[in-house]
């Protein structure tokens, strides 16, 4: 049995830094790049995607976009046979997403997703209702839910993830707090089995709103908001017979971090993650030991060590300009390597016109075309940043520590929300 829990646990502890910093390890294909000019931002009305086959570019599909002219939100995207329509919350999160298919010249609803968010943290999704249709009739409804419990002082104490196929929680996170009001113990169970206990926690910073985003890989975005662990002690059940110690540092305000994990005085995992710019570019170097379990002796042993190096550079439009991934074995011998690069062409107005991605690897040592996007039919909108820019002008709302909205707070501790900014305040 391979022992991989440590990788998950380490990422969980540090994902407060990662959530805002790390860009997914794939190119943002079929998204709309924006070019700002004066008071307008220009977005493509059409994106055409191509793939490389038989030494030429073959058209995959044309996708047409419509936008909210006041803030640049995508209202719809339509190809030859499918159409997706979006509505949004005041915070810019999805409210509904409707998938439609073309049937005998009519757009027929195939699926609708409705999203619901936490009353205290309005960007945290707590429920998704997915309804599937056939010939206009509901054939299936699925509900996934994240249940959040808060204490009397407003701190998150329990989070349950309920999947769409079971009424029993997949994951349960329980959080205990010390006399200083900071979390000092985090316990996670998966399908009733204990995954880990993290104790003796020392925080770089914390606001008590420790909520995983289960729609993502929870090992990467477990902690949301301003929560960064400096150190802690892990207890796991998977045959580790001594504590695992975590030590983390945060060298800058951009979201960079590093950490080390030790077991019986031996380094078993480490990560150095650096945010390179405001576009999501990053570099990462990691080391871990692959543990295996011996059933006969009921012990774990070192089954190999690997070092991984990864770097990605993005432009202001979200295009991946370069990506490299290398892995080395315990003797520092190169085990695998893979590269991508992007070539961006701008039109006369300075808007993205064409983006070509190429790749190479151990198995393909020469650069080869992979994908191509062509942008056209640009339209001007008032700006894709307007939602965030308007946050300072958003109305101020108050909630009690149970998350209930309060019209006129007085004499107590309340949660203050303005746009996406949330803080705890004392009202006298």
Helices (H), strands (E): how many in the chain? 2, 28
Long-range contacts of 394-401 (CB under 8 A, 24+ apart): 394/90, 394/418, 394/419, 398/427, 399/119, 399/120, 401/150, 401/151, 401/152, 401/153, 401/154
Determine phi and psi for 190, rounding to 5 degrees: -125, 115
Write out the two tokens for 105.
């010249």
Tens-digit pLDDT profile for residues 214-267: 655 433 333 345 788 999 998 875 677 889 999 999 998 888 899 999 999 999
Model pTM? Answer: 0.78
- What's the pLDDT score for residue 22? 37
DSSP conformation letters of 70-90: TT--EEEEE-SSEEEEEEE-T
Burial string for 393-410 (b: 16+ CB within 10 Å, else e) reads eeeebbbbbeeeeeeebe
Per-residue three-class SS string for 344-390: EEECCCCCEEEEEEEEEECCCCCCEEEEEEEEEEEEEECCCCHHHHH
Write out the two tokens for 283.
């570099």
Average pLDDT over residues 180-193: 92
pLDDT of 171 > 80? The answer is yes
Do residues 61 and 80 make contact, with C-beta atoms less than 8 angstroms apart? yes
Determine phi and psi for 5, rounding to 5 degrees: -65, -35
- What's the pLDDT score for residue 29? 43
Side by side, the strands of the sheet bearing 405-406 are 405-406, 396-399, 412-418, 421-427
Asked which of 9-13, 155-159, 326-330, 398-402 is least confident by mean pLDDT, the reply is: 9-13
Write out the two tokens for 29.
């294909």
Average pLDDT over residues 309-334: 94
pLDDT of 388 > 80? The answer is no
- What's the pLDDT score for residue 238? 63
What residues does 71 pair with on adjacent strands?
A: none
Q: Residue 193, class by beta-carbon neighbours within 10 Å (0-12 exposed, 13-18 middle, 19+ buried)?
A: exposed
- CA dist 419 → 23, 74, 404, 425 (Å): 24, 20, 17, 16
Per-residue three-class SS string for 300-324: EEEEEEEEEEEEEEECCCCCEEEEE
- What's the pLDDT score for residue 32? 62
Tens-digit pLDDT profile for residues 328-379: 999 999 999 999 999 999 999 889 999 999 999 998 999 999 999 999 999 9
- What's the pLDDT score for residue 57? 97
Average pLDDT over residues 169-190: 93
Determine phi and psi for 124, rounding to 5 degrees: -95, 115
| Mean pLDDT score of the chain | 83
CA 235 to mean position of chain CA atoms:
26
- What's the pLDDT score for residue 215? 55
Asked which of 74-83, 298-307, 368-377 is least confident by mean pLDDT, the reply is: 298-307
């Amino acid at each position: 049995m391979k022992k991989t829990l440590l990788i998950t646990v380490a990422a969980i502890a540090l994902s407060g830094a990662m959530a805002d910093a790390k860009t997914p390890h794939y190119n943002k294909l079929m998204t709309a790049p924006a070019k700002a000019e004066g008071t307008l931002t220009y977005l493509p009305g059409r994106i055409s995607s191509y793939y490389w086959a038989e030494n030429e570019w073959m058209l995959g599909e044309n996708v047409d976009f419509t936008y909210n002219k006041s803030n640049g939100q995508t209202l719809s995207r339509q190809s030859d046979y499918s159409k997706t329509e979006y509505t949004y919350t005041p915070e810019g999160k999805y409210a509904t997403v409707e998938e439609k298919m073309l049937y005998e010249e009519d757009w027929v609803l195939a699926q609708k997703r409705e999203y619901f968010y936490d009353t205290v943290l309005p960007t945290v999704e707590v429920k998704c209702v997915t309804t599937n249709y056939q010939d206009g009739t509901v054939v299936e409804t699925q509900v996934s839910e994240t249940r959040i419990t808060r204490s009397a002082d407003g701190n998150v104490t329990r989070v349950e993830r309920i999947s769409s196929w079971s009424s029993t929680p997949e994951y349960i996170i329980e959080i205990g707090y010390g006399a200083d009001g900071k979390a000092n113990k985090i316990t996670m169970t998966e399908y009733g089995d204990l995954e880990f206990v993290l104790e003796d926690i020392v925080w770089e910073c914390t606001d008590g709103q420790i909520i995983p985003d289960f729609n993502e890989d929870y090992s990467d975005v477990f902690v949301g908001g301003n929560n960064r662990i400096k150190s802690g002690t892990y207890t796991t059940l998977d045959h580790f017979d001594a504590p695992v110690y975590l030590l983390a540092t945060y060298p800058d305000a951009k979201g960079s971090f590093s950490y080390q994990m030790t077991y019986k005085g031996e380094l078993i995992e480490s990560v150095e993650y650096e945010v390179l710019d405001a576009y999501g570019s990053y570099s990462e170097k990691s080391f871990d030991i692959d543990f295996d379990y011996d059933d006969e002796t009921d012990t774990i042993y070192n089954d190999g060590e690997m070092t991984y190096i990864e770097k990605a550079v993005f432009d202001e439009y979200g295009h991946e300009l370069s990506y490299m991934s290398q892995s080395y074995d315990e003797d520092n011998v190169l085990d695998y390597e893979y590269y991508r690069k992007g070539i961006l062409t701008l039109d006369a107005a300075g808007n993205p016109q064409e983006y070509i991605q190429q790749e190479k690897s151990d198995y393909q040592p020469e650069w080869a075309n992979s994908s191509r996007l062509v942008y056209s039919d640009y339209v001007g909108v008032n700006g894709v940043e307007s939602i965030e820019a308007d946050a300072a002008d958003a109305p101020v709302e108050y909630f009690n520590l149970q998350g209930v909205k309060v019209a006129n707070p007085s004499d107590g501790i309340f949660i203050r929300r303005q746009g996406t900014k949330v803080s705890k305040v004392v009202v006298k």
